[in-house]
Amino acid sequence: MAINPHLAQEAYSRRLYPLAVPGELFILERDGIKFQAKTPTGKLHGNGSMFLTTKRIVFLKKGDPSRHGDFTSFEIPLAFIRDPAFKQPIFGANYMQGQVAPLLSAPNPISGDATWYLTFNQGGCGTFLPLFFRLHKEAVRDLQPSPQFFHQVQSGQLQQVAFVDPADPSVLFITQPQPLDPPPGYHGNQGQQPAQAQQQPGQPGQQPQPGAPPPPVDASAPPPAYDARGLPPPGGNSSQRPDGTRGPSTFMRGIM
């Protein structure tokens, strides 16, 4: 795990979100999350949103990042999670907890193992839980998501392979977010579908195949000037639209 992974402004909504790492696809976002972590250097806590991807969980505090102090976001790599458990207390909201090892390759890794807690203050977890445990199981076995699952996510048909719980307010991604100002060498999550995930001609429900993969990343390109909170360089309009909307066709509510 690491504190303050790189963030970006989404191109349409101007909302902050975690900048995708290579080979990563966004699965869902959920608001109304209370986050806590016990690390070797102290405790972290905050309220905000949680993102589940094919590689990690990222918590992002709500509000103006300039007022967050030293902690704006926290990433939990799925492959590094140990003993995840979903708790349903008699009193209080449901929550998940687990242990996670540090991600030493991250910009701001924690110095040792941490215990994390995600409290779901709004609604149920019937959509989130099956997706999380499926992705976690594959991650700890060093496996990629199945070709069918990968294809459904990339083609905007995640609802066909995900159980949708009407009581779960999680938001499924039906298109992948793109940064407003991409850093040098960034090509997003285009063209990352495994070759075996492509359907053969003539199969029922065949979807259009993705185009040619993007050019390789230039490793010599200078990195963007992210600050200590993982925020991108200033640029563009950082405010959310007045009506609070997130842009058409980017997200799908978990109620069909």
**CA 197, 203, 206: angle at the middle one, nearest 5?**
65
Q: Degrees (nearest 5) of the Cα angle 248, 242, 169?
A: 55
Give the Cα separation of 232 and 183 in Å (integer).
9
CA distance 98 to 118: 9
Radius of gyration of the chain (CA): 18
Distance CA 110, CA 102 (A): 5
Parse the chain into domains and list their residue ranges.
24-174+221-253
Q: What would the pLDDT profile of 8-28 be if each residue is shown by its tens digit?
A: 999 888 899 999 988 899 999
pTM, full prediction: 0.73
More reliable by pLDDT, 185 or 3: 3
Q: Which range among 15-19, 120-124, 186-190, 237-241 shows the weakest confidence by mean pLDDT?
A: 237-241
More confident residue, 6 or 207: 6
Joined together, the tokens standing for residue 124 give 């149920």
* The predicted structure's pLDDT at residue 184: 73
- What's the whole-number mean pLDDT along residues 198-219? 37
Query: What pLDDT is attached to residue 108?
Result: 73
What integer best gives the mean pLDDT of the chain? Answer: 76
pLDDT tens-digit profile of 190-208? 544 332 223 233 333 333 3
Look up the CATH number of domain 24-174+221-253: 2.30.29.30
- 32 vs 249: which has the higher pLDDT: 32
Is the pLDDT score of 56 beyond 70?
yes
